[in-house]
Structure 1
Amino acid sequence: MSLASPYDALLLLSFGGPEGPDDVVPFLENVTRGRGIPKERLVEVGAHYFQFGGVSPINGQNRALIAALEQDFARHGLDLPIYWGNRNWDPYLADTLARMAEDGVRRAVVFVTSAYSSYSGCRQYREDLAAAVAAGGAATADLELDRVRAYYDHPGFVEPMIRSTVEALGTLDESVRDAAELVFVTHSLPLVLAESSPYVEQHEAIVQLVAEGVERATGIADRPRSLTYCSRSGPPSQPWLEPDIGDHLRERSGGGLPAAVAVPIGFVSDHMEVVYDLDTEAAATAAKLGLPFARAATVGTDPAFVAAIRDLVLERAARARGEQPEPKALSALGVMPDVCRAGCCPNPRAQKPALCGSD
């Protein structure tokens, strides 16, 4: 029996991003479809993509992750082909599922490149899966897809963040290093979405775990820390999670903060929200303030994170076989379920079919 039985493939499901200047506006049209945003506004919104040649790093990072997973699987005797589908750009999820069906895949385990629970980070992907299966008609109707659980507190996600934070602290001058604040950063959400999910609680739990790990590594107790947000969009009248990292840096610098390390716990790789919102905008804000600033690396293709994905696949496979594996999870919030409960992280606009859940 295969180590991953009953699964015969792994599907990596992600957001997608443009890979050239001509892709930017069509990509943003996909992201904002149904919201009535004029093309002129999308050109303005896409300005930060054009600063990077119209290329989002996320697709390249997913290719690198798949390559690392293939090597890891081969070393550990895990014979499981890996497919990749995106929500908003090529390779589109519907096309990937059609190819999987053509290749004879019958049951696949799904890894989403979002570690936390929220509508946009979980249910919307489950809606994408349902829509893509439906789009394939008879060819994909019998394809079974099982998502791995939310993995925000898996040691293979948390421990690389601890290491990268310690490394970022090490780049600061010794005169400010021990008093530098850990400014944890994640993607902001409308409050209506945050309040209907454990998104904030999960982040707060990981802030605590990473801060404790940094304290053990550096011997510095009671280091200041904060949870901030980036990448807010939408009308100003709509309340979103705050504070924005730029606003936070300005406020704390005015209060005498000697240095800051941005810790991007909300992201699994250095994609656009990281390279623009943190490496470009937040870094420029800190420079203008004269505030020493460093940014910790995301987990990316860290071997511990790659091994964590393998562990999550095998854990999900064991449960699919009716076994009771011991999950690796560090927070006190409890292990998230493989199958989402009814009403979890609801769609604020309309109820839609969603796979991998009880509703």
Structure 2
Amino acid sequence: MPSHDALLLLSFGGPEGPDDVLPFLRNVTRGRNVPDERLAAVAEHYHRFGGVSPINGQCRALKAAIEADFAAHGVDLPVYWGNRNWTPYLADTLREMAADGVRRAAAFVTSAYSCYSCCRQYLDDIDRARAEVPGAPEIDKLRVYCGHPGFVEPFVEGARAALAELPAGARLVFTAHSVPLDQPGRQRYAAELAAVARTVVERAAPGAPWDLVYQSRSGPPAQPWLEPDVLDHLGKLHAAGTPAVAVVPIGFVSDHMEVKYDLDVEAAELAARLGLAFRRVPTPGTHPRFVALARELLAEPPGVPRSVPGTLPPRPDSCSPGCCRRTS
């Protein structure tokens, strides 16, 4: 990969006040014909937390932590931050970078896996934003990193701690954002999730029972998405006599709204009603191993396929032009 003169932290974005919520949700669902009544229902998740998503604050904390890590290790690169769906918008960040004289930056995306919504959509967003900005810097997205120890080890640590707090017979339940079955790259996404889950079990609790489930689906009921749903699964585990669960959100980089509401509210409340002991493992957030990941990815030699846990074949360190593209 060519040398870079900046790092771009690229994330999803989220509302930072009640008036932001519906405009933000319309940005997220643009072109998908999601009715306003559905958006209003989702908006209540945000209003429960004062209309503020945690994600922007988490990005500010991660940016500051990366800057401190760079300084401690002699990496002389400025760190910028841009979002797909809310301020600071990516195109505005690219304007700032261009004005500062940045010519080529590496993008560290707050999404660890393959598939259209996890990877290709960010590449498309970069292309659109660059087209809006005269003199925009070249942007190289750093590779998919779900198999990197800097991503996996915080989950191992958290799963081990959660199981230590739960009664004997606890089960590990790994969760990730569901995607439609027709989404490009869906098979690789599911395989990567299963591989990461197996790796966490092997390192945190060899032989422990575990499952991979999904959450936060948002499409029409008739559209098939990855299943089982986490809430349905918790009910089935309780009916089968499982006494306790440690929920491990391996699909997520930080504790944003779909973790705080869908797991810490909905799943936790369901577990309490069922009498199912429940712990939710933290996401990597600003864990030191995850903070160091950006620097470690920057230092990797280009053109070398990277390993993924389990039995998946090594993955190229960059995407082909047609990788995970939608055809319609």
Alignment of 1:229-308 (within 5 A): 229-308=214-293
SS in 2 for 1:55: coil
Which residue type is aligned with residue 188 of structure 1? S
Structure 2 gaps of 5+ residues are none
Determine if the alignment matches structure 1 residue 192 to structure 2 residue 182.
yes
Q: 2:8·2:79 contact (CA, 8 Å) conserved in 1?
A: yes
> 1:212-262 CA distances to partner (integer Å, 9 max, x unpaired)?
0112xxxxx432100000001111100000001000000111011111010
For 2:143, the equivalent position in structure 1 comes to: 149
- Distance 1:195-1:330 versus aligned 2 partners, 3 A rule: closer
Q: Deviation per CA, 1:250-304: give whole Å up to 9, x if none.
A: 0111011111010010001100111011100000111111100111111111101
In structure 1, runs of 5+ residues without a counterpart are 216-220, 350-359
The residue number in structure 2 matching 1:113 is: 110
The answer for the alignment partner of 2:135 in structure 1 is 139
User: What corresponds to 1:353 in structure 2?
Assistant: none
**Residue in 2 that maps onto 1:312:** 297
- The structural deviation recorded for 1:139 is 2.6
Aligned to 1:87: 84
* Rounded Cα–Cα distance in structure 1 between residues aligned with 2:264 and 2:59: 20
3-state secondary structure, aligned to 1:7 = coil
**Within 2, Cα distance between the matches of 1:200 and 1:41?**
27
Residue number in structure 1 paired with 2:315: 336
* Separation in 2, partners of 1:48, 1:325: 42
| Identity in percent | 57
Question: Which of 195, 204, 207 is matched with 1:214 structurally?
Answer: 204
Cα deviation for residue 344 of structure 1 reads 1.7
Structure of larger gyration radius: 1
Q: CA RMSD in A?
A: 1.8
TM-score of the pair, normalised by structure 1: 0.87
Query: Are the counterparts in 2 of residues 196 and 346 from structure 1 also a CA contact under 8 Å?
Result: no
> For 1:309 and 1:195, how far apart are their aligned partners in 2?
24
Preserved CA contact (<8 Å) 1:117 1:197: no
In 2: Cα distance, 1:146 partner to 1:222 partner: 40
CA distance in 2, matches of 1:329, 1:195: 16
- Secondary structure of residue in 1 paired with 2:182: helix
Match of 1:357 in 2: none
Query: Take 2:317 and 2:35, find their aligned partners in 1: how far apart are those partners?
Result: 39
Q: 1:331 to 1:342 in 2, by over 3 A?
A: farther
- CA shift for structure 1 position 17: 0.2
Specify whether residues 330 and 238 from structure 1 end up closer, same or farther in structure 2 by C-alpha distance, changes over 3 A only: closer
CA distance in 1, matches of 2:40, 2:309: 42
SS in 2 for 1:308: helix
1:39 Cα deviation (Å)?
Answer: 3.5
- Tell me the SS of whatever aligns to 2:86: coil
Question: What amino acid does structure 1 have at the position aligned with 2:132?
Answer: A
Query: Residues 52, 92 of structure 1: CA spacing in aligned structure 2 closer, same or farther, 3 A cutoff?
Result: same
Report how many residues are paired.
328
Once the two structures are TM-superposed, the CA of residue 306 in structure 1 deviates from its matched residue by 1.0
- Letter of the 1:207 counterpart: A
1:116–1:344: structure 2 CA closer, same or farther, 3 Å change rule? same
Letter of the 2:5 counterpart:
D
Q: CA deviation at 1:36?
A: 3.1
SS of match in other structure, 2:53: coil
